[in-house]
C-alpha cells in the first residue's frame, strides 16, 4: 500500500506504508478514491502552520469506499463515504451546544495527526459520512470543502436581490459565489487573479468580477471575506453597508487595521466562521443532490496521485481552483 508522506516542509514523498492493523469494532477501512488538495494542505506543505506535526501523512478532503467494517459500524462494506476530518470530544461546553467545530480538544487530521492521502486508511466510523447514490464521485469529493461555505453563508442569511461582495477567489470564495448565486443575490467578486475571476464568472449569470482597485464608493449588504490577507480584510470592512454583515472565512496571523468608528456607528455585524459541523455536511449533501446546482467549474482537474509533485505545484501557482488526486 502506498501513501504520501511529508517528512518536513516541502519534503513530500510517495512511499510504501506500514501494514494497517486490524480494525476495531467502531472503525472502518477505506479505499480512497479521490483526495482534494486544500489550502491548509498547501500551508502544511510549505511549513506555514505552527502546530503541524511533522513527519505526517497529509490530506483530509477525501472520498472513499468502505472495504472493511467493524461489528459496531452502522455502514455497509461497499458504501461510498467522505471523511469528516476534524475530531471532537462530544462533551465540552461547545460540543454540548452543537458547536463541534470549536471543540476545545479538536484535532485536524492531516495537520496535527496523520491524514488520509493513501490508498487505504483506517478511521473511526463517527468521522465518516455516507454519500447518496445520486451524487457522483466528482461532486462527492467537494462535500467537505463545500460544507465550509454552507456553514459560513448561513450566518449572513442572504436573500434574493441582496448585494453580495465576495473578496477572494480561492475554493471557498468560489463556492461562496455559487451558493450566493443559488440564493438569488447580486454578486460582485473581487480578486487580483484574472484566471480565478474567469472561473467565478462561470458560476452564475448575476456575477460581476472586478479588481480590488476598481471598487470605489460601492457598498454591499453582505461581504464574504475569503482571501485572508490584511488588505482584503480591511477592504471588506470598508465596503459593507451600514447595518450590513461581514462573514470572515479567510485567516491571517498578520495585523489588520480595525475601523472601530465605522463598525460601531454603522452597526456592522462581523461573523467569524470556521469549518463546519456534521449538520453542515448533511446540508452540503442536500445542495449537491440538486443536479442543476453546478459546481463543476470549481474542480479544475483530477490527476493520478503518483503525479503529486506537479499537483501541489499547480495548486500553489494560483492558476487553478480545486485539484484532486485520484488514488
Q: What average pLDDT is seen over the chain?
A: 97
- 237 and 293 part of one domain: no
Dist. CA 150–CA 295, nearest whole Å? 13
Whether residue 186 is contained in a domain is answered as: yes
Dist. CA 55–CA 32, nearest whole Å? 21
Going by pLDDT thresholds of 50, 70 and 90, the confidence category of residue 29 is: very high
C-alpha cell at 220: 454591499
CATH assignment of the domain containing 238: 3.40.50.720
What phi, psi does 56 have (nearest 5°)? -160, 160
Whether residue 151 is contained in a domain is answered as: no
- 128 and 257 part of one domain: no
Whether residue 67 is contained in a domain is answered as: yes
Helix, strand counts (H, E) of the chain = 10, 17
Q: State yes or no: cis peptide before 55, omega within 30 of 0.
A: yes
Among 226, 243, 272, the domain boundary falls at: 272
Whether residue 44 is contained in a domain is answered as: yes
pLDDT single digits (tens) 214-252: 998 999 999 999 999 999 999 999 999 999 999 999 999
CATH assignment of the domain containing 52: 3.90.180.10
Dist. CA 189–CA 196, nearest whole Å? 10
Q: In this model, does residue 84 exceed pLDDT 90?
A: yes
- 99 and 179 part of one domain: no
Whether residue 139 is contained in a domain is answered as: yes
DSSP state of 309: H
Going by pLDDT thresholds of 50, 70 and 90, the confidence category of residue 4 is: very high
C-alpha cell at 106: 479538536
- 142 and 279 part of one domain: yes
Among 272, 293, 309, the domain boundary falls at: 272
Dist. CA 130–CA 64, nearest whole Å? 10
- 9 and 61 part of one domain: yes
pLDDT single digits (tens) 262-297: 999 999 999 999 999 999 999 999 999 999 999 999
Whether residue 122 is contained in a domain is answered as: yes
Element (H, E) at 44: helix 39-46
Dist. CA 165–CA 220, nearest whole Å? 6
Whether residue 183 is contained in a domain is answered as: yes
Going by pLDDT thresholds of 50, 70 and 90, the confidence category of residue 18 is: very high
pTM over 0.95: yes
Answer yes or no: are the C-beta atoms of 40 and 51 closer than 8 Å: no
Number of domains the chain contains: 2
- 14 and 119 part of one domain: yes
* pLDDT score, position 205: 86
- 216 and 203 part of one domain: yes
- 255 and 290 part of one domain: no
DSSP character string of 134-180 = TS-HHHHTTHHHHHHHHHHHHTTT--TT-EEEEE--SHHHHHHHHHH
- 50 and 191 part of one domain: no
- 208 and 261 part of one domain: yes
- 140 and 284 part of one domain: yes
Domain limits at 237?
156-272
Answer yes or no: are the C-beta atoms of 219 and 240 closer than 8 Å: yes
Laid out side by side, the sheet with 163-167 consists of 207-210, 186-190, 163-167, 220-225, 240-248, 269-272
pLDDT single digits (tens) 129-143: 999 999 999 999 999
Share above pLDDT 70 across residues of the chain, in percent, rounded to a whole number = 100
- 49 and 115 part of one domain: yes
Going by pLDDT thresholds of 50, 70 and 90, the confidence category of residue 148 is: very high
**Mean pLDDT value of segment 200-220:** 95
Dist. CA 68–CA 322, nearest whole Å? 29
Amino acid at each position: 500500500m502506498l501513501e504520501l508522506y511529508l517528512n518536513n516542509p516541502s519534503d513530500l514523498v510517495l512511499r510504501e506504508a506500514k501494514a494497517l492493523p486490524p480494525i476495531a469494532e467502531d472503525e472502518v477501512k477505506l479505499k480512497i478514491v479521490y483526495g482534494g488538495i486544500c489550502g491548509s494542505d498547501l500551508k502544511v506543505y510549505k511549513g506555514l502552520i505552527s502546530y503541524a506535526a511533522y513527519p505526517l501523512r497529509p490530506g483530509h478532503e477525501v472520498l472513499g469506499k468502505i472495504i472493511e467494517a467493524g461489528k459496531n459500524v452502522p455502514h455497509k462494506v461497499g458504501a461510498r463515504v467522505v471523511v469528516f476530518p476534524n475530531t471532537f470530544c462530544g462533551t465540552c461546553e461547545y460540543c454540548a451546544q452543537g458547536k463541534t467545530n470549536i471543540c476545545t480538544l479538536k484535532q485536524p487530521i492531516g495537520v496535527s495527526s496523520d491524514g488520509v492521502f493513501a490508498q487505504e486508511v483506517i478511521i473511526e466510523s463517527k468521522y465518516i459520512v455516507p454519500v447518496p447514490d445520486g451524487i457522483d464521485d466528482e461532486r462527492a469529493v467537494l462535500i467537505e470543502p463545500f460544507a465550509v461555505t454552507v456553514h459560513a453563508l448561513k450566518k449572513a442569511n442572504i436573500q434574493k436581490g441582496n448585494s453580495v461582495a465576495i473578496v477572494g477567489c480561492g475554493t471557498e470564495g468560489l463556492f461562496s459565489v455559487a451558493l450566493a448565486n443559488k440564493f438569488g443575490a447580486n454578486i460582485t467578486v473581487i480578486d487580483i487573479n484574472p484566471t480565478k475571476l474567469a472561473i467565478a464568472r462561470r458560476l452564475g449569470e448575476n456575477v460581476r468580477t472586478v479588481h480590488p482597485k476598481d471598487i470605489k464608493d460601492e457598498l454591499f449588504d453582505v461581504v464574504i471575506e475569503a482571501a485572508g490577507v490584511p488588505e482584503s480584510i480591511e477592504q471588506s470592512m470598508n465596503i459593507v453597508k451600514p447595518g450590513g454583515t461581514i462573514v470572515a472565512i479567510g485567516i491571517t496571523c498578520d495585523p489588520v487595521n480595525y475601523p472601530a468608528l465605522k463598525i460601531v456607528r454603522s452597526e456592522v455585524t462581523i461573523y467569524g466562521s470556521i469549518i463546519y459541523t456534521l449538520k453542515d455536511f448533511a446540508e452540503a449533501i442536500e445542495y449537491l443532490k440538486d443536479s442543476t446546482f453546478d459546481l463543476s467549474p470549481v474542480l479544475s482537474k483530477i490527476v493520478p496521485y503518483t503525479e503529486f509533485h506537479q499537483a501541489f505545484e499547480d495548486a500553489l501557482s494560483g492558476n487553478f481552483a480545486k485539484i484532486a488526486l485520484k488514488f
